[in-house]
Amino acid sequence: MIQLDDVSYAYPDTDHFVLSHMNLSIPAGSVTGIVGASGAGKTTLAKILSGFIPHVDGGELSGTVVVDGVTIAEASLADAVSHVGLVIQSPFNQISGAKFTVREELAFGLENLGVPRDEMAVRVAEVADLLGITGLLDRSPYALSGGQQQLVAIASMIIMRTPVLVMDEPTSQLDPGGTRMVFDVMSSLRDSGITLVIFEHKLELLREHADVVHVLADHQLIAHGPSRAMLADPRMEEWGIGSTRFTAAASEARTKKLLPADVELPVSIEDAATVFASFASSKGA
């Protein structure tokens, strides 16, 4: 579904490669998390996956990027965006500025594609219901809080129904409830066959929802693995990504020999509960 072969990229007017000799393979219908420290190149990679590099940002891109069967460098931007959607970091900038209500804002992309009015109305109602923003439909997008704007921004891309959706820190302005809802929506999108690539710092939620996590550091994807194994990897601290409180606590307990050396470190509270239960049963508690 997504295939990157030996991809390197430098922004215009620089000879500094932000990404270097990168390879990546993401199967269709999966949820992939990509983590990396600030400045690691996550946004750049998100733009490469969604075709904005090289079509908009320019610069020097080498290697091959194929998304949903389309070789991005050879396709037009309009063609690329019909295969892959991008939710950018800033919801303020994701909102078009051209529409006066959330309802019209959600329909903006569909209007551009010439989708019939009746179908647009149905899709707007569906996506608003999915993200719990039906009550906001008649409000101005600019009269919303940052979190509400982020939900509208996400909805405005989900409604496009692209087979691949790339999300660059999609929950940065959401409260815990909103964040969980967005991740639940992602799960339901995956169930409907959409391939999701999520650039995110919220490791516990990635553990829960991502099938595979890749680590971006030193201009390359340097490691990947199943979400729990990858996010509990002790090198996550070295890579500047950090770990969850559950991983940190269990790691400390293991160092102090309170936990066996071969225990799989937890990432989320569910993992921690499982580790604790198995430890307790081994001690006959």
Partner 1 sequence: MSSTLFDNRKSVIHRLNPVTKLIALLAIIVTVFAIPLWWVAGLIIVLVVVPAAVISGSGGRLLSLSLRILLPIMLVLFIVQGLTFPGGKTIIWQWGIIDVTSEGLLFALGIGSRIIVLVLASILLVLTTHPGDLMSALTERGMSPKFAYIISSTLQLIPAFKDRADSILLAQQARGLSLKGNPLRRIKIMLPLLSPLVLGMFTDVEERSTAMEARAFGSTARRTSLIPVADSMVQRIARWLFIVLALAAVATPILLGLL
Shortest CB 87 distance to partner 1, Å: 8
191: left (phi over 0), alpha (psi -120 to 50) or beta: alpha
3-state SS, residue 196: strand
Nearer residue to partner 1 within complex by CB, 107 or 267? 107
The nearer residue to partner 1, 86 or 230, going by C-beta atoms, is: 86
Closer residue to partner 1, CB minimum distance, 121 or 277: 121
CB of 274 to partner 1, least distance (A): 39
Complex with partner 1: residue 20 or 90, whichever CB lies closer: 90
Contacts of residue 283, Cβ cutoff 8 Å, sequence gap at least 6: none
Q: Which two tokens stand for residue 72?
A: 């991005």
Q: Which amino acid is at 117?
A: R
User: Computed from CA positions of residues 253, 255, 256, 260, in that sequence, does the dihedral angle turn out positive or negative?
Assistant: positive
Residue 99 CB, nearest approach to partner 1 (Å): 6
- Find the helix or strand (DSSP H, E) in which 4 lies: strand 2-10
Nearest to 262 by CA among 279, 281, 277, 239: 279
Name the minimum Å distance from CB 44 to partner 1.
Answer: 12
Work out how close the CB of 188 gets to partner 1 at its nearest, in angstroms, rounded to a whole number: 21
Among 2, 15, 63, CA closest to 195: 2
Q: Shortest distance, CB of residue 153 to partner 1, whole angstroms?
A: 8
Nearer Cβ to partner 1 (157/203): 157
Report the alpha-carbon distance of residue 221 to residue 224 in Å, rounded: 8
Q: What is the 3-state secondary structure (H, E, C) of 110-164?
A: HHHHCCCHHHHHHHHHHHHHHCCCHHHCCCCHHHCCHHHHHHHHHHHHHCCCCCE
Cα separation, 46 vs 48, whole angstroms: 5
What residue ranges bind partner 1 (CB under 8 A)? Answer: 47, 50, 52, 56, 77-78, 81-82, 85-86, 88, 90, 92-101, 103-104, 107-117, 120-121, 124, 140, 142-143, 153, 156-157, 160
Please identify, using beta-carbon distances, which residue of 118 and 191 lies nearer to partner 1.
118
30/140 with CB nearer partner 1:
140
Give min distance, CB of 88 to partner 1, in A: 5
Q: 195-199 and 164-168: which strand pairing?
A: parallel
